[in-house]
Amino acid sequence: MATNEAAYLLEPHQIPLQIRDAPCPSSVEPNTIVVKNHTAYNPFPLKYPFILGQDVAGEVVDVGQGVEGFVKGQRVIGLSEVHTILSANMAAPIPSSVSYEEAVVLPLAVSTAAAGLFQKGFLELPLPTTSPQPLGNTLIVWSGSSSVGLAAIQLARAAGADVVATSSSRTHYLVKSIGASAVFDYTKPTVVDDIVAHLSGKVVLDAYDAISSQQTPRALAEILTKVNSEKHFMAFTGQVEKELPTGVTGKAVFNNIIYDNVLHIFRIKYP
């Protein structure tokens, strides 16, 4: 019989985490798969004790009734311990050239970025392709060097959008290398004016706030009110700023809103 382990956070500031036995799935429900996996930790409000883990990458060890596209032994990534039950539409195969440790950082970042960019009620970009047609407009991504920001830039570029992003100066090279046409240092007091000047004469496809700190929604809102923005809309990865300027709207986005999407966002483009 398979055994299961998980990393437990039992109290605030606990170092190191405690590896303990955890319940192991003994059966698999319809439309789910069981994965023996690596996990990635992500920040979110916690109640103690807590088993950490959001992203998973591993090997399929069981397949439920009605699941198509997955077989035992297949290498996959997904969203959620050593054994994890995943909904089939929240998992995707990974190529043999990508390790579990490399793949496990993708699910939360990619799905959160995809939800804000493509989901109805958010930015609603066309789905990405390997040969995108230019949309003729620019998306602003705040915190382009974050995991969600990096995913958002690459997906937006694959959808045909031009991307302007922010990051610290030491990561400008990284953000440009994955597709941003221009990158601005968010620590500079003139960053808003610098971005507005750069976007003069361009059609702006609104904004994606990939970090959602206390200051970032206000900065993006100010930019949107000063440029030729299509909808004056922002997708947030945190709570929606309550005091946005008149005419600017925002909506919180998280990975799990893709759960009921007709399309399998993970599998539609991933090799």
Distance CA 172, CA 191 (A): 14
pLDDT at residue 20 above 90?
no
Are residues 96 and 172 both part of a single domain? Answer: no
Residue 267 lies in a domain: no
pLDDT at residue 93 above 70?
yes
Strand 182-185 to strand 162-167: parallel, antiparallel, or no bridges (unpaired)?
parallel
* pLDDT (0 to 100) of residue 224: 94
Residue 271 lies in a domain: no
* pLDDT (0 to 100) of residue 171: 97
Q: What is the mean pLDDT of the chain?
A: 81
* pLDDT (0 to 100) of residue 271: 36
Are residues 29 and 162 both part of a single domain? Answer: no
Mean pLDDT in residue range 182-198: 97
Are residues 29 and 161 both part of a single domain? Answer: no
Distance CA 47, CA 31 (A): 29
Are residues 89 and 165 both part of a single domain? Answer: no
Residue 65 lies in a domain: yes
Domain boundary (52, 82, 103) is at: 103
Structure token digits, residue 234: 């922002």
Of the candidates 214, 246, 242, 243, which has an alpha carbon nearest to the alpha carbon of residue 232? Answer: 246
Of the candidates 47, 45, 44, 35, which has an alpha carbon nearest to the alpha carbon of residue 4? Answer: 35
Are residues 96 and 117 both part of a single domain? Answer: no
% residues pLDDT > 90 (the chain): 38
pLDDT at residue 155 above 90?
yes
Q: pTM of this prediction? A: 0.73
Are residues 81 and 119 both part of a single domain? Answer: no
Query: Which CATH number belongs to the domain containing residue 14 in this structure?
Result: 3.90.180.10
Are residues 60 and 191 both part of a single domain? Answer: no
pLDDT at residue 154 above 90?
yes
* pLDDT (0 to 100) of residue 253: 87
Q: Which of 11-20, 50-59, 127-136 has the lowest mean pLDDT?
A: 50-59
Query: Which CATH number belongs to the domain containing residue 225 in this structure?
Result: 3.40.50.720
Distance CA 97, CA 86 (A): 23
Mean pLDDT in residue range 43-62: 63
Are residues 94 and 118 both part of a single domain? Answer: no
Domain boundary (103, 125, 156) is at: 103
Are residues 66 and 142 both part of a single domain? Answer: no
Mean pLDDT in residue range 42-62: 62
Q: pLDDT by residue (tens digit) across 100-152?
A: 888 888 888 888 899 899 988 999 999 999 999 999 999 999 999 999 999 99
- Sequence-separated (6 or more) residues with CB below 8 Å from residue 144: 150, 152, 153, 163, 165, 166, 167, 171, 175, 180, 183, 210
pLDDT at residue 37 above 70?
no
Distance CA 173, CA 186 (A): 15
Of the candidates 214, 227, 255, which has an alpha carbon nearest to the alpha carbon of residue 140? Answer: 227
* pLDDT (0 to 100) of residue 43: 53
Residue 10 lies in a domain: yes
Domain boundary (49, 81, 103) is at: 103
Count of structural domains within the chain: 2
Q: Which of 84-93, 178-187, 229-238, 251-260 has the highest mean pLDDT?
A: 178-187
Residue 269 lies in a domain: no
Are residues 84 and 182 both part of a single domain? Answer: no
Where in the sequence is the domain holding 234, given as residue range(s)? 112-257
Of the candidates 123, 199, 122, which has an alpha carbon nearest to the alpha carbon of residue 164? Answer: 199
Top-confidence residue, 51 or 124: 124
Strand 203-209 to strand 182-185: parallel, antiparallel, or no bridges (unpaired)?
unpaired
Q: pLDDT by residue (tens digit) across 202-261?
A: 999 899 999 988 889 889 999 999 998 878 899 988 766 567 888 899 888 876 666 666
Are residues 175 and 225 both part of a single domain? Answer: yes
* pLDDT (0 to 100) of residue 147: 92
Are residues 160 and 210 both part of a single domain? Answer: yes
Mean pLDDT in residue range 180-189: 98
Distance CA 195, CA 179 (A): 17
Top-confidence residue, 45 or 231: 231
Residue 268 lies in a domain: no
% residues pLDDT > 70 (the chain): 74
